[in-house]
Amino acid sequence: MKYVLKDFEYYLKNEKGSSINTISSYMHDLAQYQAFLETYHDIKKPRDIEKKHIEGFLKSMRKQVTAKSVARKLTAIKSFHHFLALEKETDENVALALQSPKIEKSLPKVLSIDEVLAILNMANESKKLGYRNQALLELIYGSGLRVSELLDIKMEDIHLNQGYIIVKGKGDKERMVPISDVSMIALRNYIVKSREDLMGDKKTSYLFLNQQGQRLSRQGFFKLLKKLAHDAGVETECSPHTLRHSFATHLLENGMDLRTLQSLLGHEDISTTQIYTHISQKRIKEIYKEAHPRAKEDHHV
């Protein structure tokens, strides 16, 4: 089975163009799946897998992890069995009829504008790291980037004079993202006054570096953001994704249409973007009051 899994990993990377995070997640879930099949059913060949074996694995997982994690594992398994049928490793796709568990969509946590500003104001304490932190936060909030997109930016992706950067989204799809004047100033300050000091004698094209002159990691940025939010007295749970959610919500509240927001966020499907609309009720009520002749308090009877 491990050879087939290796082939599947190659397929995800080179044929499907899946992101590194997706591939890593799928392979982790499938390693658990393989271990279950071998341990409890002595299955070593894909042809021996039946629908009941997959159901048994999912049932055992429900006792250990959330419904969201089970759904993610089933997605990996379904993709794997699609590949097996495609490659004629199995006669049929035994995972085809399996239904994903229903997941309650949890509403994204959103910071107020004041909370975002409080965190941004905490970012410029020490000179060398302060410039970097300021640029990091201005860019992720100012452009609504995913954390992986932010940390994968290279020097050649930045076009400050034209006011945009190129980012690689899911499936390595590139998109052009506009950057604000404030972000441009923060980026210039970091590049000119701090980045070379952080890089030292190392050579790297990644924009955001840690104190060892290497690409800043997700964990490193997450810890930094948690500390800044704590120091700023922000009690709302804060992660890099919270800043992306806040970016989207604040734009919607100020009248941006969904299609433009979809493009900025790099969402393939507008239904993904629609999760933000529930937060923008304030804006909808304002437009309604302005537009409807009987919505205003001073209408004539």
Spatial CA neighbour of 22 closest among 145, 152, 169, 158: 169
Separation of alpha carbons 136 and 123, rounded Å: 9
Residue 278 designated active-site: no
Residue 267 designated active-site: yes
Residue 218 designated active-site: no
Residue 276 designated active-site: yes
DSSP conformation letters of the chain: -HHHHHHHHHIIIIIS---HHHHHHHHHHHHHHHHHHHHHH---SGGG--HHHHHHHHHHHHTTS-HHHHHHHHHHHHHHHHHHHHTTSSSS-TTTTPPPPP-PPPPPP---HHHHHHHHHHTTSSHHHHHHHHHHHHHHHHHT--HHHHHT-BGGGEETTTTEEEEE-GGG-EEEEE--HHHHHHHHHHIIIIIHHHHTT----BSSB-TTSSBPPHHHHHHHHHHHHHHTT--S---HHHHHHHHHHHHHHTT--HHHHHHHHT-SSHHHHGGGGGGGHHHHHHHHHHH-TTTSTT---
Spatial CA neighbour of 253 closest among 284, 295, 296: 284
Which of 41, 154, 241, 283 is an active site residue? 241
Residue 244 designated active-site: yes
Which of 128, 154, 170, 193 is an active site residue? 170
| First vs last C-alpha separation in the chain | 76
Which of 73, 81, 146, 250 is an active site residue? 146
Which of 81, 244, 245, 250 is an active site residue? 244
Phi, psi of 18 (to 5 degrees): -70, 155
Q: Which residues form the catalytic set?
A: 146, 170, 241, 244, 267, 276
